[in-house]
Each structure stands twice: as C-alpha cells, then as structure tokens.
Structure 1
Amino acid sequence: MERGKAAVEKARELGAATDREEAYIAAVEAFFTDPVPARESRSRDHEARVRAWLDAQQKVHEAYPEDVDAAAFYALAEVCYAMTQFSPHQERDFTREKRAGEIIESYFEDHPEHPGLFHYLIHAYDSPQLAERALETAREYDKLAPESVHALHMPSHIFVRLGYWEETAEWNERSAEAAVREMDDDFHATAHYVHALDYMMFAYLQMGDDAKAKETLRQVQEVEDMWGAPFAAYNIAAAQARYYLEQRNWDGAAALEPGMPDVLPWENFPQAEALFYFARGIGAARSGDFDQAESDRDEIRQRVQALRDVDDAYWAYMTEALGKAVEASLLFERGRTEEGLALMREAADLEDSMDKHPTTPGEVLPIRELYGDLLAREGRMEEARVAFEASLERTPNRRQALAGLELARAQPATPGGR
C-alpha cells in the first residue's frame, strides 16, 4: 500500500501531459486514497478502495471509449469488485463478470493481440458457469507470449473449470519450465513455479498418472527457496495434501508433516497451514487414530481464529469448512453416523456456498465428494448419487467423484451397509 501511494505521489509530482493521463492517474489514486469514513475492517477497507477504483476506471473508459487499455482496466476492476462481494450461503451473481467479459470481447476484433484482453477475459470467465466462453481465448494465449510463465499458466484456470486435465497438465508443465529458466533473474518466479506444480499435481491425479504425480510431489518437497507470496504457501501445502487424499492413502495423509518444506514463515499463512492439518485429520480419522484427528481438528480451529483476527473472512469460512469436515469424519468413524453425516453435509454446504479462490485449481478434497463417500459406505446410494452429481457440477470430471457416481448408480441401496 505504501509503495502504491508513493507511486501516485511521484506521478503527481511529474504531472500529467494530457487529460487522458490525468484520468489514469486519478483512477489509480482512487484506490490508494484512504476511504472516508475509515472502514471498520481490512476487508471492508479493501472493498471501498476497489469500488473507488472501479468508479474512476469506468469514467476513464467512458471518456475514452476508443482506448483499449482503459476498457481492459475497467473490465478488470469489475471482476475485482465482484470478488469482494462473496457471501456464504448466498447464490453467486455473475452480472459483473459477464459485463466485464462482454466489454473485453467487443475490443478483440480491433485488438486481436492485446495481452490484457486475453488475460482479463480468463479472469472474468473463471467459473464453471462461464468457462466455456473463454475456452478459445485460453487456447490462443500462448501465441502472444510463448515464454511468459504466467501467460502459459493462465489458460488452465479455464481448463480446470471444465475438467480438461491433459491441457491443464501440458500448459503448466510449460509454465513450470519457464519459471525455472527465470528464477535466477526473477525471484518471484519461484512462487509461480510451485503454482504450476500444484495445477500439474491436480491434473495428474485426475488422469490417474501416479508416476508423474509422485515426481511432482518430489519437486514440491525439494523446493529450497521461495518468494513469500500467500498463493505459493497455499500451493505447496495443497499439492502435498491432495497427493495423499486424492489416492485415498489415509496413512500417508495422516503422516504428512506440517510446514514442510521449511522455506516459508508458515505461521503467516494460516489458510495454507490448515491444509496440512486437514489432510492429517481426515487421514487419521479414517485410519482409526482418533486422538491425532482431534488434535488436527483443533489445529484447524486455531487457524480459523487467526484468519478471523485479521478479518480474512473468505479464508476463515473456507478453513472453517475443513475443520467441520474433520470433526464430521471423527463422529462418523466413532459410530455416531447420523451426527457425522449431518455435520459433513453442513461443511459441504459452507464450502459450496463460496467459489474456489484463483490461488488453487480446486479443493484438495471437495467436502461434497467426501460426503458422498460416507453416504455410499452406509449404502445410501440415492443420496450418494445426488452428492456426487453436485460435486461434479462444481468441479467437473473429478476421477474419484466419477467413480463414486458410477458405484452409486450401479448398486442398489443397502441401508446400514459399509
């Protein structure tokens, strides 16, 4: 924030040569100007800043409709503001994302090689409901920047939404290779490297390519240095957690060592730390080590509180859902079946009420899918079918959910069956 304010101050010192330059400076300044009155929390402060930027950027676009950059930044501002409007248990409204996408699409004919249009269209349509609209654009992005780490990664935001695992793997392999080439000159590339590895891990596991998934796990665990970005912490933890959970390797999940590799101040990233304890807790509960599962559940609760203390509402809710899932697994494995199922359904509802963050290709183990697994173990196949179908609607083409759905459709209900 301070660097941004300093940049605005420098721009003001230099002065604007044209009215258009003045409008651009004013748009940036709108974000870095402290809201009046001051907002009561960090999230509300951020929302107010993004709203001010959105309004100012819209004015630039309307004053200079021929300016493709003004249009692109206005579209991006619409997407960013939409991301501040999440609310648990409330259906998401895609009005702003659609508006942003339509603005961008209207400039493609005259500006077919503008990288901002490609990039921001992918962000606008990064959801299962809209992803098809950006598929062609995603597949063309690398032609603009064939050596750019992030440009090679970005199309997979669309591919994972559609369950296109081969393309997800291929594009992130290229992104990871580009990141390795850039690391000596740009330390930030270390974070983009593990970002690509997590997407690769997700794709390999869905493809059933255990050998490549195992090699990717090795690459993650052998990282020696890392730019301390929150998304990097999340991806390092997620790649390891999903490796064991996706393969239903409960003993391996229970044995996962938190905060490894030791390349980050993990205490600064509670949403990432929680993934270690989620994997451990689910694994321990399924393996019968209830004491460990209780301890891991409590560790997750501590991370939820840490997130609430800094008013990170989104990650607090998502992490709360993980803790509920571990507790539900404990109840179920201890024979308190109905209580466990009810709490797992509650956790799934909470997780499903919010979209996945762009940080991740998908949840390390969707709780709705986990709920379907428990229902199937009880022989409640019709309910399991509904759960798996709902999970696949949110995250299409997931291997374990497809297998569970096939089982639920094929087998007759056997109440009480395990």
Structure 2
Amino acid sequence: MSAFFDPSDAKDTTFQQRADAYEAKMNALHTAYPNDVDGAAFDALAMKHGGNRLDNEVRAVYGIEMHDWKMLAAETPAPGSKEYLKFDTYWGQGVAAGHLKDAKLAASALREFDKGVDALKKSPYASRISSMEVERNEMVGWQAFGENKPEEAVTAMRRAADQQDELGQGEVDIPAREMVGDLLMMEERPDEALVEYKMALKLSPNRLNG
C-alpha cells in the first residue's frame, strides 16, 4: 500500500495515477510468479476499484453472522464491481437460499458465483481459485438442502469443511464446520451437529454465533 502514499511523489502525482502504477506493478509480478499470490495484495487491488471486493465480502459475512437471511438473499454486488469481485455476494445469497429453502435462488446464486470464479481464473489472481472451492461446496450443500436432498447436502458441506481444514481458515472466514453443524441441526440431527460444533470451536476458540 505504500505505493499509494509515498510522500516523495505525492505532490507530483494524483492518487489515481499512483493506484494505476501500483496495479501495473502487481499485474507484472503475478504474471512473472503466477503461483505466488498474496491475499493482501488482492484486497489492496480490490480497494483500488472502490473497495468493492471488501464491500461485497463484509456485507455477505455480516448477513451470515446476523442470520439475516432475507436481507442477504436480496443483496446485489456493489456498483462497479468487476466480475471477479462479485463472488462473495453470491456466496452469501447461496447460504441464505439454503436457510430459506429457496432452491431457485440457490441455483441462480451458484451460476453467478461460477461466473465470478471463471473471471477470477482469467485475472492475475487465478491461484486463489482453490479457496473458492470451499465456498462453492458450501453453496452446493445449501442448494441440495433447499431441494430436500439432505444426504447430498451434508456430503457437500463436509467436503467444504475438509477443504477448509486443509487450506486453513482465514481470519474472517465463516467456519465451514459450523455450517455443517447448522445444517445438521436443521435436519434434526443434534448429536451429529454437536460433534461438528465442537470441532469448529477447536479451530475457532471462543467463537459465539448464537
């Protein structure tokens, strides 16, 4: 981010010029080292585009944490979002659709999510695709639940949790194990849900989402 605020050139260039220069340098780096992508740099570039990625992510995470499924289902990406910055909004929609048992919305959200992932594959940040698989499997699980396919739902959600366990959970990520527990509770399988919640708390100590 220092490329935006270097005092030595602040008087000679505008913020937009420094931002454009930063983007060009980041694109060159990611072209040269396609397997070395820094998530912070991805977010920094998103901020350059009006903070859309962070806006979309925060609204999705907030809606899930607050269990405000109707609000989340109605969310749309922040105006001006690049296609590869929209996936968080549709991930949130997909989660909400499952809780609302709205199979049509779940299918639509998954289609739009996949468009965002396809765009991400063509961006300088294609190596972040692996982390998108966790969210996609969560969406597949909620879609199956909305379609009254409980076993398919649990299988997909457990797959997401296993992937997150392997990849590591981001600082503000919703624990996938917690979603498995939520799903099992909604399927009236409390004993199995408790196992998942206990595992989630081991990975995210002191977390409270009641």
Task: Tell me if TM exceeds 0.5.
Answer: yes
Shift of the 301–247 alpha-carbon distance from structure 1 to 2, 3 Å rule, reads same
- Among candidates 56, 59, 80, match of residue 240 of structure 1: 59
Deviations 1:65-120 (A, max 9, x none): xxxxxxxxxxxxxxxxxx79xxxxxxxxxxxxxxxxxxxxxxxxxxxxxxxxxxxx
Question: Partner of 2:76: helix, strand, or coil?
Answer: coil
Q: What is the alpha-carbon distance in structure 2 between the residues aligned to residue 376 and residue 325 of structure 1? A: 16
- Counterpart code for 1:240: R
- Counterpart code for 1:393: K
Matched, 1:393 2:208: no
* TM-score normalised according to structure 1 size: 0.38
Aligned to 2:70: 251
Shift of the 227–380 alpha-carbon distance from structure 1 to 2, 3 Å rule, reads closer
Aligned to 1:362: 172
Which aligned runs of 4 or more in structure 1 are off by greater than 3 angstroms?
39-42, 310-314
Shift of the 313–386 alpha-carbon distance from structure 1 to 2, 3 Å rule, reads farther
Q: How does 1:90-105 map to 2 (within 5 A)?
A: none
Aligned length: 180
| Structure 1 unaligned regions, length at least 5 | 4-33, 48-82, 85-190, 193-225, 404-418
* TM-score normalised according to structure 2 size: 0.71
- Among candidates 30, 35, 48, match of residue 228 of structure 1: 48
- The alpha carbon displacement at 1:340 in A equals 0.9
- The alpha carbon displacement at 1:382 in A equals 3.2
Deviations 1:130-164 (A, max 9, x none): xxxxxxxxxxxxxxxxxxxxxxxxxxxxxxxxxxx
Deviations 1:189-208 (A, max 9, x none): xx99xxxxxxxxxxxxxxxx
Q: What is the alpha-carbon distance in structure 1 between the residues aligned to residue 145 and residue 193 of structure 2? A: 15
Aligned to 1:376: 185
Matched, 1:301 2:93: no
Q: What is the alpha-carbon distance in structure 1 between the residues aligned to residue 153 and residue 110 of structure 2? A: 14
- Counterpart code for 1:362: V
Q: What is the alpha-carbon distance in structure 2 between the residues aligned to residue 320 and residue 279 of structure 1? A: 14
Deviations 1:168-196 (A, max 9, x none): xxxxxxxxxxxxxxxxxxxxxxx99xxxx
- The alpha carbon displacement at 1:295 in A equals 0.9
- Counterpart code for 2:82: E
Q: What is the alpha-carbon distance in structure 1 between the residues aligned to residue 81 and residue 180 of structure 2? A: 29
Shift of the 40–233 alpha-carbon distance from structure 1 to 2, 3 Å rule, reads closer
Q: What is the alpha-carbon distance in structure 2 between the residues aligned to residue 256 and residue 372 of structure 1? A: 25
Matched, 1:331 2:144: yes
Give 1 or 2 for the bigger CA radius of gyration. Answer: 1
Aligned to 1:266: 81
Q: How does 1:140-155 map to 2 (within 5 A)?
A: none
Q: Is the 8 A contact 2:117 2:132 kept in 1?
A: yes
Larger relative contact order (CA 8 Å, sep ≥ 6): 2
Q: Is the 8 A contact 1:324 1:344 kept in 2?
A: yes
For the aligned residue pairs, the C-alpha RMSD in angstroms reads 3.2
- The alpha carbon displacement at 1:311 in A equals 6.3
Aligned to 2:23: none
Q: Is the 8 A contact 1:328 1:339 kept in 2?
A: yes
Aligned to 2:132: 319
Matched, 1:43 2:38: no
Q: Is the 8 A contact 1:328 1:344 kept in 2?
A: yes
Q: Is the 8 A contact 1:303 1:319 kept in 2?
A: no
Q: How does 1:76-225 map to 2 (within 5 A)?
A: none
| Structure 2 unaligned regions, length at least 5 | 4-27
Shift of the 40–328 alpha-carbon distance from structure 1 to 2, 3 Å rule, reads same
- The alpha carbon displacement at 1:308 in A equals 2.5
- The alpha carbon displacement at 1:371 in A equals 0.7
Shift of the 382–227 alpha-carbon distance from structure 1 to 2, 3 Å rule, reads closer
Shift of the 332–237 alpha-carbon distance from structure 1 to 2, 3 Å rule, reads same
Q: Is the 8 A contact 1:42 1:310 kept in 2?
A: no
Q: Percent identity?
A: 24
- Counterpart code for 1:373: D
Aligned to 2:88: 275
Q: Is the 8 A contact 2:97 2:142 kept in 1?
A: no
Question: Partner of 1:335: helix, strand, or coil?
Answer: coil
Question: Partner of 2:48: helix, strand, or coil?
Answer: coil
Q: How does 1:24-39 map to 2 (within 5 A)?
A: none
Question: Partner of 2:82: helix, strand, or coil?
Answer: helix
